[in-house]
Structures are given as C-alpha cells and as structure tokens.
Amino acid sequence: MRVLFLWHMHQPAYFINEGGKHIYYLPWVLQHALKEYYEMPYMVSRYENVKVTFNLVPILLEQLLDYSEGKAECKFTNLALKSSESLSEDEVKFILFHFFNISEKTRIKPFPRFYYLYRKRGKIHEIDSKCRFFSLQDLRDIQFYWMFSAISPILVEKNSVLRELANKKEKYSEEDKHLLFQEIPGLIKQVIELYLSLHRGGRIEISTTPYYHPILPVLVNSTNAEVSNPYTKQPDFDIKEPDNARRHVSKAVSFLKDRLDVEVKGMWPAEGSVSQDTIEIYKENGIRWIASDEEILLKSLRTTDREVIFKPYEINGLRIFFRDRELSDRIGFTYSQKGEIESAMDMYEILKNYSKKEDRVVSIILDGENPWDSYANGGLKFLDTLYGLLNKCTRITTATFSDLLEEKATPLHYLHPGSWIRGDFTTWVGHPEKNRAWKYLTAIKKEIKDSKNPVAIEELMCAEGSDWFWWYGDDNFTIYFREFDELFRAHLMKAMEHANKKIPPFLEEPIKTEIQSVKPDTEAVSYINPTVDGIVENFYEYLGSGEFNVSTISIGQMKVKSYFLEKISFGFNESRLFLMLRPVPGRILDSVVVEFEPGVHLDLNLKNNTCSEPSVDFMYVKVLEAAIPIALLGEGEEYKFRLVVRGEGIEERYPRMGSFKIKRLRKDEIDLIW
C-alpha cells in the first residue's frame, strides 16, 4: 500500500505595493517561517525511507523571499524593533493587543518571562487600564519574545547567537532585539534551501497552487457555485474569465521555475476546488496531476462507497487524486486533543489495517502550518513517531504523487465542481458579504481591464485569493476581520491607483462591519418546563426548545471538533430561561461561566455545586441544566451570551468569537405559531 502525504503551505498576500516596495500589514508569514515551514521538511529529512509532497503556494514563497532578502517592510517587525523608550501610548496598546495573539500553548507558556507578561496583560478588554503598569523593560521583553517565540527550538539549538539569547531569559536590551532580528533573514534562506535540497535529492516533491490561491472554478465560470450546490444563495454577479484563471496557473509554474529552478508536475488547487472546465487550463501549463477531496469523487460517481477513493483517476488526460478526509481531519483537528505519541500510534494502526488490501493508494492532504499550534509539542513528537514507524514498515510505502504518474489510473468521465469543504463553494460564495466582495472585485476588473500596468494587474490578482472571501460571512471568525477586510479593499484601491483611475467611494465602505452573532440552528417555538436535575429522562422535556450544534467550533482558520460540548439547548417559560449543555461522552466538566451582555456573569462551580448568583438553579449529572430568572437578565427582546467551559486542565470558549444570540420567546408569539 502507498501513502501519499501532501502538506499544503499557504498565506495570502499580506502586502500592498507602495512606492515600488511591498509594505506588510499582517505578520503571519514571518510567524510561520522559522517554525512550521522549517520543522516540517526537517522532520522528513530525518527518515530516509519517508517521502512526502510539500505544496508551496507561490504567493507564500514570494513573501518568504522578501523576508529572506530584507525587502519586507513589515508594520509588526518595525514595531518590535522600535526602541521601547520611543513607543507612543497607542503603540504600547498595539503591542499588548497583537503580540500575544499567538498560541499560548506552544509559543507563550514555554517561556516563563513571556508567560508572566501575558498573564500580567490579562484580558484584551483590560489593556487600556493596565498598559501604564508595563515598564520599558517589560515592553522590550515582549518585543523580543514575539520574534523569538516564532523560531523553532531546533533552529535555536543549532545557532550560537540564538542559544546565547535564549539563555538570557529576560531583561533583553535594544541591542538583543536587533541581534535576534539580524539572524532571521539568513535562517529563512536556509529554510528555502532545505526544501530545495530535499527536492533535488528525491526525498520530497514540490507541488504548487495557482499563484494567488484563487477559487479557480469560480473565476472560470461563477455558475459553478450554483451547479455545485443548488441551495447557494443566487450570486448577483457573473464571472467568466478563463484567461484570468490561466494567468494564475502559468504565473505559478513560471515562478517556481525562474526563482527556484523547480519544474512542478502537480498542483493542489486552492481549497481543493475543482471543476470540469478547469482541467484543460492545468494541462496547457504542463501540470500532470491535481488533487481534491473525497466528497468530490463521491458526488462525481454518485456513490457513498468510500472504497473508490483509494486509487488514482484520470480525467481528460490529467491525473487526479482524492484525499482521505477521515485521516486528514484526524491530523488536522482530532489528534491535537490527545497525546502526540498516542495519536501517531493510532494513525499507524489505522494505516496498517488499511494495508490489508495491498493495492490501495491513500492520499492524506491538509494544511502544513495551521494544526501544529494546537498540539502539545507543536506536532514534533507526532511526526517523529509516525515517520519513524513508517520508515521501518515494509507493508506501507510512502510516495510522492508524481511517483504514480506512470501507473494505470481509472478513467473519470465527470468531475463534480466543489472544494474540500462540503464538496461545494459556499465557504466563498453565497453569503451577502461574500457576494458583495465579489461584486467589488468584478466592478474594479471592468474599470482596469485595459490597463497595461503590471502592478495594477498584480494587485487585482491578489484580491482574487480565496482567503478574503473565507473571512467574510458568519461561518469563520477571526479577531483580524477588520484587517482582512481592509487588505482586500486596499488591493482593489491600489489596482485602481496603479491604473491611474479614480478610486470609487464604495471601496471606502467596509464589507464586514462587526463580528457576527451566532444564531441558533433551531429556534425555540414553545415554552418548556424541564426538571432541573442534570438528567434528560424524557424527550418531551425540551420539546419546542431551540438548539446550537457546537460539535465543531470555528478557530478562525478552520473548524475543529469541540472538546467539551455537543450541543446547547435553550428555551423559555414566562419567568425563566433554561439552558441545557450536553457534553461529549466521557468528558469531565469542572466549571462553566455564562456571560450575558451586558454585564451578567454567572460562575457555575460544578464540583462544589455553587453559583455566583443564588437565584440560578442548576444541576450537572449527565448533562448540565440551568434555570436563569428573566428578571436577572432584563426584559429585552433578545439575549446574547457566551460560555467558558473548564475541565481536565483545558479551557474552551463557545463560540470562539462573538456570542450566541437568542430571541426572547413570549406567550403571544407561541399562540401565533400554533
């Protein structure tokens, strides 16, 4: 049996073209450059019998090269290097807000001084009141650790300058900050060279994606969104631009060849998004294989038999592979909640069981940077254990996708349009905010269609990247929603500016104006009067209640499986609001905090059976039930709340961003419903 790993490395264009330079407004390329982007190929290099594919998106590589060559004018690094004595009050607040927006588990807690300053900072809403308590030395240490925590401990151990700085632990000087930053460009060059040396040695394959990571099927023909899912809200825009799609593919192939001397044979289309009418575009540019999600194959073949995913296919002369969603999602989402060695053993046992059928080809495809901050050891023990087991295994062989190009493939006569998420495009098309962004994009395209300025075209192509549309709508949350919105519109403004066109006023208007409140999956339709005993003995206790399905929660870039809760039910009678929290089987809850806007804070200690508000009745046995007096919440028409659940040494927030919003149910409304 062959196992094909593909690790997808991607970031959108965080820069704007200004005065012939790239000005960077968000720092995530730098934050991953010397951590995941280094550790992933390094772990492969340790095992001579392990082969994988790294999918390096051109716009990511372009930004890595900017940082490695000292060309990146970055707002965040400039502030990290600025003398603490010369920081303005607003800059101090910026540092206290942004420089701790990294993984507490893997990037803050490992450094006691950084963790102390993080706890001193407290909650985000406390920054205004606490910023005056941070000394100049505190600020210097925060600036230092924001940069240092983004460097792999493996690299630190190999570098004498970094080792010396690490041993200092605190009281860093301005000189220390600059000494640290001077090491970074050279280290990023080493990271790029590591990929290339492994590629030249046949240890890895380098594949890529259309240049700026666009949803290619929507660019080729936006009706693919409706074909993919007929329930997609009718887009009020029309796009049919196959030539523009070709530009993304050809530019990607040329970039890898010209800048890195790599002739790519394969592509992971952005978000695994495919359609029948994109096949020829790949073939025209010398691409021999692409890959997508198993859901696409199942819909293409109109089957539910997953056995069909374990072999390569060929459509119109192009090889296509389909990822095993279950195994990919285990690494991406599930295993981060467990021990790394235990998880690697679990994956290995599953693969051994798969290998009982020798001719299977198993494609495991997922993000190569995003999952690891959720792992206790940053994923290093997981990869070390899994690769070590596979390195010695004779029943399972790891291979690259191109290794299978000359083997027989099964003909595929129809390719359903869709992506790796639900097998459709609704993550990028359909919501009013997403559609509005597409309308902005198409309007600017019409304005500059005759422009010969390559910078104007580049800015427009930047705006075609998938990430901007991902963050619009209410399905994915990030605290950087304003920055992503501003960057998207800034790309369009710069396209107009470089085309010598007047910027239209609508580009000044934000598309996303606030973090969306999470609405119920099911609304409450009748009064309920459950017995608050921690046990739901009768289905009718919550008949007519509303419900939030929280089995998965958004973490901004992905949805992950909820650790504690499966669902939250809610309902009313004339005087009380009832909440019922159903835990994931086997989970142990110690406490639940319920925060209502504005200002009602309920702290339920499940070990001691106490609540910070005596008027609240609650009980936790198999489920947690609580009855909250309406008088405590106020006589509003709707209530917004969020939960913080703690237990087993873990804390989880529901929802991850924003708040749940429920409508107050009154008796006269029930009479109308029934």
Interacting residues of 594 by C-beta distance below 8 A, sequence separation 6+: 579, 601, 602, 604, 626, 628, 641, 642, 643
Backbone angles phi, psi at 648, to 5 degrees: 55, 30
Structural domain includes residue 238: no
Q: How far is CA 418 from the centre of its chain?
A: 19
Burial 89-125 (b: 16+ CB within 10 A, else e): eeebebbbebbbebbeebbbeebebbeebbeebeeee
Final residue belonging to a domain, choices 178, 200, 222: 200
Structural domain includes residue 276: no
Q: What is the pLDDT of residue 103?
A: 92
| Long-range CB contacts for residues 444-448, cutoff 8 Å, separation at least 24 | 444/492, 444/495, 444/496, 444/507, 445/241, 447/496, 447/499, 447/501, 447/504, 448/495, 448/496, 448/499, 448/501
Q: Mark whether 111 and 175 lie in a shared domain.
A: yes
Structural domain includes residue 421: no
Q: Is residue 442 within 8 Å of residue 192, measured between CB atoms?
A: no
Q: What is the pLDDT of residue 669?
A: 64
Determine the Cα–Cα distance for residues 203 and 201; give it in Å rounded to an integer: 5
Q: Mark whether 482 and 620 lie in a shared domain.
A: no
Structural domain includes residue 518: no
| Amino acid at site 366 | L
Structural domain includes residue 626: yes
> CA separation (Å) from 503 to 397, 488, 511, 561?
56, 14, 16, 43
What 3-state DSSP class applies to 105?
A: helix
- Tell me the whole-structure pTM to 2 decimals: 0.83
Structural domain includes residue 62: yes
Name which of 136, 164, 137, 133 is nearest 148 in CA terms.
Answer: 164
Interacting residues of 325 by C-beta distance below 8 A, sequence separation 6+: 293, 294, 295, 420
Q: What is the pLDDT of residue 515?
A: 62
Q: Mark whether 107 and 172 lie in a shared domain.
A: yes
Structural domain includes residue 378: no
Q: Mark whether 452 and 549 lie in a shared domain.
A: no
Q: What is the pLDDT of residue 245?
A: 95
Q: What is the pLDDT of residue 22?
A: 95
Its domain, for residue 80, covers 16-200
Q: Mark whether 47 and 193 lie in a shared domain.
A: yes
Q: Mark whether 498 and 576 lie in a shared domain.
A: no
| pLDDT tens-digit series, residues 604-620 | 999 889 999 999 999 99
| Amino acid at site 47 | Y
Q: Mark whether 479 and 602 lie in a shared domain.
A: no
The three state secondary structure string of 243-301 is HHHHHHHHHHHHHHHHHHCCCCCEECCHHHCECHHHHHHHHHCCCCEEEEEHHHHHHHH
Final residue belonging to a domain, choices 162, 184, 200: 200
Structural domain includes residue 69: yes
Q: What is the pLDDT of residue 539?
A: 73
Q: Is residue 554 within 8 Å of residue 562, measured between CB atoms?
A: no
Q: Mark whether 495 and 545 lie in a shared domain.
A: no
Dihedral sign of CA atoms 164, 170, 173, 176 in order: positive
Q: Mark whether 446 and 583 lie in a shared domain.
A: no
Q: Mark whether 47 and 125 lie in a shared domain.
A: yes
Q: Is residue 655 within 8 Å of residue 475, measured between CB atoms?
A: no
Q: What is the DSSP string of 198-252?
A: HHHTTSEEEEB-STT-B-HHHHH-TTHHHHH-TTS---S-----HHHHHHHHHHH
Q: Is residue 480 within 8 Å of residue 470, measured between CB atoms?
A: no
> Which CATH number does the domain housing residue 629 bear?
2.60.40.10
Cα separation of the two ends of the chain: 59
Final residue belonging to a domain, choices 200, 217, 232: 200
Dihedral sign of CA atoms 468, 474, 478, 483 in order: positive
Q: How far is CA 364 from the centre of its chain?
A: 18
Burial 628-655 (b: 16+ CB within 10 A, else e): bebeebeeeeebbbbbebebeeeebebb
Q: Mark whether 495 and 562 lie in a shared domain.
A: no
| Count of structural domains, the chain | 3
Determine the Cα–Cα distance for residues 151 and 36; give it in Å rounded to an integer: 9
Q: What is the pLDDT of residue 234?
A: 67
Q: Mark whether 621 and 581 lie in a shared domain.
A: yes
Question: Mean pLDDT of successive 10-residue segments in the chain (674 residues)?
Answer: 98 93 96 98 98 98 97 96 96 96 94 97 86 96 98 98 98 98 98 98 98 97 92 80 95 98 98 98 98 97 97 98 96 90 98 94 96 93 98 96 97 97 92 94 94 94 96 82 94 96 94 77 90 86 90 52 89 93 91 89 91 93 94 88 88 82 79 45
